[in-house]
């Protein structure tokens, strides 16, 4: 008789502990196996996952241990995956079963073979020639692959520099050595293009795709195909980092700066951190490649510390110069009587571009916190005196609030800087822009891509195809159209309002502004002719706008990192948010207050200064569930200690059957 510690598939904090079960010697029970076990007083067996094995029963349990009823032969994780599960539970303060659920297939096994809809273009062949920069980068990566040790690279390459070609060649070397590859892209919309590139080299039989728009049956089928060793390469969005591959030799994370690599759901993992964990495991020893034209401040900072080897690619593959960029001061437009969404410069450039049979991309990002208070006369933006971040206007209360520290103040009726009455919460949505553009340029077909317009299956692909074929002349969109897409006939990119990104109440607002302007600008001039970019802003003097217009990443990094260091924002600390939800407002508030007191009581006086008082969350009520927020800064090297505090408080809540649910999010991408 042998024994196994099993995690029960049960979404409860009170059962988030291993339970010991016995099994006969002839049962093939391994770490990672899905098993069926009796549990509590239930008449039916429950599912569980084995996390460890023992030859002897623990003291005190002998004679009281029940036995494993059976094994699910179709689902079994390996030991590396289970080590990652244990690591995730500690790092993200989540339940075992939440971390296990990241690795296991969603839905039931299909009754028949389901062919996944790959939704891709024609297979594209590998490019025959590499640039000197591509060769230099690939040589260093290939050397690490040959050595077979865990290595980390950051390819800092301008838009159009040929990063994907480097990924393909590195993957080909890894596959030739009998190892496997994971390729992550930030958006499902980018998946068809990269699939086509990889299939041109590897064919379709040895490639699997994982993303959320596949049906449950398709995803289950792909999971089984991967787990059985039928594929060499897995391509997908964030969740593909959990692909059940063995002997992973290469992990690529394209556009590594994108916020989509951070999970919005429990467990709130960071795919890059998980990639590092899986890649560093002795069973894999993978090479990790992060790629971006605009690396995140944290990643580039770590590159400077030697955590990543930084590889530079400063020229476009086709040698076409980067686009000409012009900043338009919308304050001047307003003074001249222009109150439309288009500056005179952007209007004239669109007219010239369209007349030359070139296409136009108009970019307006409305993601996240897009409502801020700004003076359209002088460019003043209401900011928190404590955090230096943009204040958000709450119309129901008529007040401005900071969602970091809780500071609030009355909304001004006139501008505190210049006395102008042109102060209001700012922003026009993409739908309004599309309508306006259609009226101004009725002879040209205008289309729009945002989350509202591409809800139906295949709609995103249809609209992108129409633009690629030239059926659409003007495309208005959010960040979906700003990254990764390669349209050869785009002559002009117009960024309607850089301020929408610049003034989200988040310490990353300047970083996001720089990244999105740079990425959007990178869509222009990818053919043989130099493109043009027009940036409209009420803050033309802001360093993020100026450096983005100059394509000067190093200059931006220096200023932004300096600000982060003074304010002790990441990467110089960790920001942590704990969200408390309850059907009762008092319950949510009580949870936040209890944790605030509990955390502070376990910290030094200096550390307590970085724990901000509880407050209503930005979205204080969703579907009749009330939400309170607790935000704090965590100094370097302290994350594990804070995680232990949170786990202790969670255990207390479970024992007391607290009327609230707490969710810990480390370095969140929004404080909603």
Predicted confidence (pLDDT) per residue in 119-150, tens digit:
444 444 455 689 999 999 999 999 999 999 99
Of 160, 536, 532, which is closest to residue 354 (Cα–Cα)? 532
Which helix (DSSP H) or strand (DSSP E) does residue 596 occupy?
Answer: helix 585-601
Contact 145, 170 (CB under 8 A): yes
Average pLDDT over residues 245-251: 97
Instruction: Give the pLDDT score at 120.
Output: 47
Q: Is the pLDDT of residue 482 over 50?
A: yes
Please give the distance of CA 389 from its chain centroid, rounded to a whole number.
22
In 503-546, DSSP assigns E strands to 532-537
Distance of alpha carbon 493 from alpha carbon 488, whole angstroms: 13
Average pLDDT value for the chain: 89
Instruction: Give the pLDDT score at 506.
Output: 81
Predicted confidence (pLDDT) per residue in 76-121, tens digit:
999 999 999 999 999 999 999 999 999 998 766 766 565 555 544 4
Residues of the chain with CATH 3.30.70: 574-666
Distance of alpha carbon 112 from alpha carbon 66, whole angstroms: 36
Average pLDDT over residues 251-279: 95
Average pLDDT over residues 23-30: 94
Instruction: Give the pLDDT score at 483.
Output: 62
Q: Is the pLDDT of residue 21 over 60?
A: yes
Instruction: Give the pLDDT score at 370.
Output: 38
Peptide bond into 571 cis (omega under 30): yes
Instruction: Give the pLDDT score at 367.
Output: 36
Average pLDDT over residues 584-597: 97
Top-level CATH class of 324-370+428-564? alpha beta
Domain 132-313 belongs in CATH node 3.40.50.300: yes
Instruction: Give the pLDDT score at 216.
Output: 87
Beta-bridge partner residues of 423: 375
Distance of alpha carbon 125 from alpha carbon 168, whole angstroms: 11
Residues of the chain with CATH 3.40.50.300: 132-313, 324-370+428-564
Please tell me which residue, 653 or 455, carries the higher pLDDT value: 653
Contact 209, 239 (CB under 8 A): no
CATH of region 2-103 = 3.40.1440.60
What CA–CA distances, in Å, run from 345 to 333, 428, 534? 10, 19, 8
Predicted confidence (pLDDT) per residue in 645-660, tens digit:
999 999 999 999 999 9
**DSSP per-residue codes, 634-670:** E-TT-HHHHHHHHHHHHHHHHHHT-SSEEEEEES-S-
Instruction: Give the pLDDT score at 287.
Output: 98
Predicted confidence (pLDDT) per residue in 332-375, tens digit:
999 999 988 899 999 999 999 999 999 999 998 753 233 568 88
Distance of alpha carbon 100 from alpha carbon 116, whole angstroms: 24
Residues of the chain with CATH 3.40.1440.60: 2-103
Average pLDDT over residues 456-470: 86
In 473-612, DSSP assigns E strands to 474-477, 490-495, 532-537, 574-582
Average pLDDT over residues 297-318: 93
Predicted confidence (pLDDT) per residue in 523-575, tens digit:
776 667 788 999 999 999 999 999 999 989 999 999 999 999 999 999 999 99
Predicted confidence (pLDDT) per residue in 176-216, tens digit:
999 999 999 988 766 777 888 899 899 999 999 988 778 88
What would be the CATH architecture of the domain defined by 574-666?
A: 2-Layer Sandwich (3.30)
Distance of alpha carbon 587 from alpha carbon 628, whole angstroms: 9
Average pLDDT over residues 629-637: 95
Prediction pTM value: 0.86
What is the edge-to-edge ordering of all strands in the sheet holding 392-394?
Answer: 392-394, 399-401, 408-410
What are φ and ψ of residue 205, in 5° steps?
-70, -30
């Amino acid at each position: 008789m042998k024994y196994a510690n099993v995690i029960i598939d049960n979404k409860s904090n009170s059962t988030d502990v291993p339970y010991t079960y016995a099994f006969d010697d002839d049962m093939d029970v391994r770490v990672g196996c899905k098993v069926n076990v009796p549990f509590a007083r239930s008449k039916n067996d429950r599912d569980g996952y084995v996390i460890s094995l023992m030859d002897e029963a623990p003291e005190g349990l002998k004679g009281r241990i029940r036995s494993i009823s059976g094994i699910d032969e179709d689902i079994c994780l390996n030991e590396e995956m289970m080590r990652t599960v244990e690591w995730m539970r500690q790092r993200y303060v989540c339940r075992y079963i939440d971390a296990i659920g990241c690795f296991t297939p969603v839905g039931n096994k299909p009754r028949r073979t389901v062919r996944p809809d790959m939704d891709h273009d024609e297979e594209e062949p590998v490019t025959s020639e590499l640039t000197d920069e591509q060769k230099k980068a690939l040589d260093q990566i290939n050397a690490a692959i040959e050595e077979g040790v865990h290595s980390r690279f950051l390819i800092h390459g301008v838009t159009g520099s040929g990063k994907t070609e480097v990924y393909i060649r590195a993957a080909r070397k890894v596959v030739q050595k009998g190892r496997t590859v994971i390729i992550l892209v930030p958006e499902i919309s980018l998946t068809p293009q990269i699939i086509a590139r990889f299939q041109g080299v590897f064919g379709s039989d040895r490639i699997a795709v994982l993303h959320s728009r596949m049906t449950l049956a398709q995803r289950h089928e792909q999971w089984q195909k991967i787990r059985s060793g039928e594929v060499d390469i897995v391509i997908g969005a964030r969740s593909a980092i959990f692909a059940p591959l063995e002997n992973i030799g290469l992990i690529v994370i394209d556009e590594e700066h994108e916020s989509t690599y951070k999970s919005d759901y429990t467990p709130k993992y960071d795919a890059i951190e998980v990639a590092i964990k899986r890649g560093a495991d002795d069973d894999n020893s993978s090479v990790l490649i992060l790629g971006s034209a605009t690396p995140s401040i944290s990643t580039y900072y770590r590159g400077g510390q030697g955590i990543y080897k930084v590889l530079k690619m400063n020229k476009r593959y086709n040698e076409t110069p980067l686009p000409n960029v012009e900043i338009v001061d919308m304050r001047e437009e307003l003074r001249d009587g222009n109150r439309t969404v288009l500056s005179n410069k952007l209007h004239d450039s669109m007219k010239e571009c369209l007349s030359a049979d070139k296409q136009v991309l108009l970019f307006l990002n409305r993601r996240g916190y897009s409502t801020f208070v700004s003076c359209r006369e002088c460019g003043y933006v209401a900011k928190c005196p404590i955090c230096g971040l943009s204040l958000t206007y709450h119309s129901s209360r008529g007040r401005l609030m900071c969602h970091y520290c809780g500071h609030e103040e009355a909304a001004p009726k006139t501008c505190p800087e210049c006395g102008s009455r042109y102060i209001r919460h700012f922003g026009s949505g993409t739908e309004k822009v599309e309508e306006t553009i259609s009226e101004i340029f009725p002879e040209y077909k205008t289309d729009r891509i945002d989350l509202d317009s591409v809800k139906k299956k295949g709609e995103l692909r249809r609209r992108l195809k129409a633009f690629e074929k030239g059926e659409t002349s003007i495309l208005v969109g959010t960040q979906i159209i700003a990254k990764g897409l390669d349209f050869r006939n785009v002559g002009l990119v117009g960024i309607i309002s850089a301020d929408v990104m610049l003034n989200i109440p988040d310490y990353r607002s300047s970083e996001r502004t720089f990244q999105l302007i740079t990425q959007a600008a990178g869509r222009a001039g990818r053919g043989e002719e130099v493109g043009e970019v027009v940036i409209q802003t009420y803050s033309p003097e802001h360093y993020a706008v100026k450096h983005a217009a100059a394509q000067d990443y190093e200059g931006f990094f220096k200023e932004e990192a300096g600000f982060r260091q003074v304010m002790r924002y990441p990467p110089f600390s960790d920001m942590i948010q704990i969200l408390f939800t309850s059907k009762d407002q008092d319950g949510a508030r009580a949870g936040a207050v209890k944790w605030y007191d509990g955390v502070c009581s376990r910290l030094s006086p200096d550390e307590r200064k970085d724990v901000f008082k509880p407050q209503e969350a930005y979205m204080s009520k969703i579907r009749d569930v009330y939400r309170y927020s607790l935000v704090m800064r965590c100094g370097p090297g302290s994350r594990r200690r804070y995680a232990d505090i949170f786990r202790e408080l969670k255990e207390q809540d479970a024992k007391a059957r607290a009327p609230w649910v707490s969710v810990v999010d480390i370095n969140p991408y929004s404080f909603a």
